[in-house]
Amino acid sequence: MTMIRKAALAVLLTSLASASAAQAAGSVSEGKQVYASQCAMCHSNQPGGQGIGPSLAGVYGKPAASQAGYDFSPALKAAHLTWNDATLNKFLAAPQETVPGTKMPYAGLTDATQRADVIAYLASIANP
């Protein structure tokens, strides 16, 4: 392969990766709406606000089950997850399959776009 073809291939792959990352990023405003309809009944979006589940304010980028003041399941404590795009996407799709024994009884958010939107929203409230 010539140097020009290699350079062109590298540019093409970089462009595709950037487009894929941009497509994967969710909408904060849409995520806030999905959060309100799917998550807010159990989870506060305010720091320290507890409901049936823990507050989700500030969880993005933090270790799972690390928030003070909530009694997390032994399963979630032992999972050693950090809440990022990949782990949230997997967990929100199927909480009981991802962490068997978690207290979260939610069946899962099956729509990938809605999951990406909720993740974008959680990332936006990571440092309230």
Q: Residue 89 falls within a domain, yes or no?
A: yes
Q: What is the pLDDT of residue 3?
A: 54
Q: Residue 91 falls within a domain, yes or no?
A: yes
What pLDDT digit, counting tens, does each position of 22-75 carry?
A: 335 899 999 999 999 999 999 999 998 988 999 999 999 999 999 998 999 999
Confidence of residue 4 (pLDDT cuts 50, 70, 90): low
Q: Residue 85 falls within a domain, yes or no?
A: yes
CATH of the domain at 78: 1.10.760.10
Q: What is the pLDDT of residue 19?
A: 32
Domain count, the chain: 1
Secondary structure of residue 82 in the 3-state scheme: strand
Contacts by residues 65-74 (CB-CB < 8 Å, ≥ 24 positions apart): 72/103, 73/99, 73/101, 73/102, 73/103, 74/101
Q: Residue 61 falls within a domain, yes or no?
A: yes
Q: Which residue has the tokens 């009981």?
A: 96
Domain that holds residue 68: 26-124
Q: Are 56 and 43 in contact (CB under 8 A)?
A: yes
Average pLDDT over residues 1-30: 55
pTM: 0.79
d(Cα 128, Cα 55) in Å, to the nearest integer? 12
Q: Residue 17 falls within a domain, yes or no?
A: no
Q: Residue 18 falls within a domain, yes or no?
A: no
Q: Residue 65 falls within a domain, yes or no?
A: yes
Q: What is the pLDDT of residue 93?
A: 97
What pLDDT digit, counting tens, does each position of 116-127 carry?
A: 999 999 999 998
Q: Residue 62 falls within a domain, yes or no?
A: yes
d(Cα 35, Cα 14) in Å, to the nearest integer? 33
